[in-house]
């Protein structure tokens, strides 16, 4: 098995929304905002080579939305999912499996693309099986009004219509070295892949802990549906990670790819900043 960090680009979101009740005077030191109060965030995915399988966890925003949509999110930088895959010697057609932690547009938008004449939506990974879970899928296709803007039907429904969708749950054993935890604070039944790799456990944190700056327990996004549930889930998982020397992989941290953890008087904090290539 081999793991690769794959950057699908950078975008911006409101700093206050990303840090919730934490005052700007504090979070602005962690991820400084621009003049519009927007902070830069990564769209960092994980690629797993495992035997004859090439497994992609999440896939960024994609490129099929119009300029007005992307104008809200200030896409910037030269990275893209295709370029990052190509740099590793792979193409979209090489992907055999796509694990979707959840169906918010910045995690699954790259799942679907337009055909060559932009008349039809189709899977971007034509040879892949896409994995979600029934609880989250139902939540996404019947969205609440608060979360509706994050669940775009054009990112979601064509996956099932293609016949490439498979439902799994936290007890599924798809791959020998990959298991899942389900968490419910950010959105219903978000899946966190837990990967055994080189005698280490790598935890893909998705939006439970989107960046190293969100490690303190009260640092919870305003986007979370159930913030008190997020608080409980973070405490349990971060303590488990610290006790067992896990490596946390961050999907949205603009700079830091991974960290190890330690317990301090202030709670669980980062111990060491590392890269997957260091493991």
The per-residue pLDDT for 273 is 98
State the alpha helices, DSSP H only, in the chain: 15-19, 24-27, 67-71, 81-87, 105-108, 134-141, 153-161, 227-243
* Residues 56, 33: Cα–Cα separation, whole Å: 30
- Give me the sheet containing 38-50, strands edge to edge: 2-14, 38-50, 53-57, 97-99, 129-132, 165-167
CA neighbor of 264 nearest in space, from 238, 246, 244, 230: 238
Domains of the chain: 2-278 (3.60.15.10)
* H or E stretch covering 258: strand 258-264
The per-residue pLDDT for 12 is 98
The per-residue pLDDT for 76 is 94
Residue 184's contacts (CB-CB under 8 Å, 6 or more residues apart) are 190, 226, 229, 233
Whether 208 and 186 have beta carbons less than 8 Å apart is answered as yes
The per-residue pLDDT for 169 is 86
Whether 185 and 233 have beta carbons less than 8 Å apart is answered as yes
* Residues 191, 140: Cα–Cα separation, whole Å: 14
The per-residue pLDDT for 13 is 98
The per-residue pLDDT for 173 is 79
The per-residue pLDDT for 10 is 97
* Residues 243, 29: Cα–Cα separation, whole Å: 28
In a 3-state reduction of DSSP, which class is residue 93?
A: helix
User: Averaged in consecutive runs of 10 residues, what is the pLDDT profile of the chain (279 residues)?
Assistant: 97 98 97 97 98 97 94 94 97 98 98 92 98 98 96 97 94 89 98 96 98 98 98 98 98 98 97 95
Distances (CA, A) of 251 to 29, 60, 144, 258: 20, 10, 24, 9
């Amino acid at each position: 098995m081999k793991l690769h960090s794959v950057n699908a680009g950078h975008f911006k979101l409101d700093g206050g929304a990303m840090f919730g009740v934490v005052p700007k005077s504090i979070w602005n030191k962690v991820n400084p905002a621009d003049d519009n109060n927007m902070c830069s965030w990564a769209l960092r995915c994980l690629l797993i080579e495992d035997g004859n399988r090439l497994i992609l966890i999440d896939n960024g925003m994609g490129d099929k939305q119009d300029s007005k949509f992307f104008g809200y999110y200030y896409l910037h930088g030269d990275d893209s999912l295709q370029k990052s895959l190509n740099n590793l010697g792979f193409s979209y057609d090489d992907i055999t499996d796509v694990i979707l932690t959840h169906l918010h547009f910045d995690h699954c938008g790259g799942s679907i693309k337009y055909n060559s004449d932009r008349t039809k939506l189709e899977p971007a990974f034509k040879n892949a099986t896409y994995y979600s879970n029934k609880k989250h899928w139902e939540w996404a296709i019947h969205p609440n009004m608060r979360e509706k803007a994050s669940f775009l039907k054009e990112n979601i429904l064509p996956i099932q219509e293609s016949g490439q969708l498979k439902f799994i749950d936290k007890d599924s054993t798809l791959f020998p070295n990959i298991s899942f935890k389900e968490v419910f604070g950010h959105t219903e039944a978000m899946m966190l892949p837990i990967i055994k790799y080189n005698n280490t456990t790598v935890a893909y944190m998705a939006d439970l802990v989107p960046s190293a700056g969100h490690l303190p327990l009260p640092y919870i996004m305003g986007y979370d549906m159930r913030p008190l549930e997020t608080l409980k889930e973070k405490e349990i998982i971060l303590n488990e990670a610290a006790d067992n020397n896990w490596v946390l992989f961050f999907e949205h941290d603009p700079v830091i790819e991974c960290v190890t953890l330690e317990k301090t008087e202030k709670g669980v904090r980062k111990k060491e900043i590392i890269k997957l290539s260091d493991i």
